[in-house]
Amino acid sequence: MRINHLKNDGEPSTNLNAEQNERLVLKGGLGTRAQITLFDADDTTQNLEAFKSSNLLVNEANLVFYVDPIITENWTPNDRIAERLYLYRLDDNLPLADYFSDPTTGTVPESTKTVHSGILEYQDGVPYRYKFRITEHVSNLLRSDDESLAENVSLGLVVTSDINAIGIKTARISETDEINFPVAAIANPLGTVLVGTHPPESLAHLSLKLEVIYTNFDN
């Protein structure tokens, strides 16, 4: 899995090395977002191809981001943190298939799309993790006849103030450069810090995880 940071400074994004991948900082407004590639072409494409060639049924897939415990030390209810994240496809700026198939609705955004989620979970009153159900997205990567759904596209990750607001705004960041950014992230002043893919050994158990539960019909 690969993560890039995309900033609003007009500079091209670059791959993060292991040290930079220790933490993932997301900021609201035109702050920072993350670019995530679930199957990195540099070293894990064979894993994706192996999945595709196997007789597997994906029962459930989750992408789990843990809050960096450093920012929650001495946490109090008055401290502020982004309560929800939004995951979307960077190629067309649309939500994942799991977003559209999630039927949960409510009178407030917090009670909408709660299966796909991205909602902050607390443990013992302290911010703990954000979890996305992406079963359909991963299943499409393995089995879809639609090339656009089967393509291993990069995903964008931002904070959000309203999961229903999936529109995109184009912002000019220099005289010649523009950036597309989710409306809901622009309206959210809060941020969060997540454990990355290559954290210190003491935080290895909290590293970014793609969990796939599947049935292998070849066994």
Burial class (CB in 10 A: 0-12, 13-18, 19+), 46: exposed
Residue 133, CA distances (Å) to 141, 148, 207 in order:
15, 20, 17
- The token pair at 90 is 């960077």
What CA–CA distance (Å, rounded) separates 216 from 199?
A: 31
Q: Nearest-CA neighbor of 197 among 17, 12, 7? A: 17
Per DSSP (E only), the strands in 1-154 are 2-7, 23-27, 32-37, 56-66, 85-89, 117-123, 126-133
pLDDT of residue 1: 54
- The token pair at 112 is 């909408």
Beta bridge partner(s), residue 169: 181
* Amino acid residing at 116: H
pLDDT of residue 49: 75
pLDDT of residue 18: 35
Distance of CA 19 to the CA centre of its chain: 20
To the nearest 5 percent, what fractions of the chain are helix, strand and coil?
20, 35, 40
**pLDDT digit string (tens) for the chain, length 219 residues:** 555 444 433 332 323 333 347 888 898 876 688 888 887 655 545 567 777 777 778 899 999 999 999 999 999 888 999 999 999 999 999 999 999 999 999 888 889 999 999 999 999 999 999 999 999 999 998 887 777 777 888 899 999 989 999 999 887 766 777 778 888 888 888 999 999 888 888 888 998 888 988 887 776
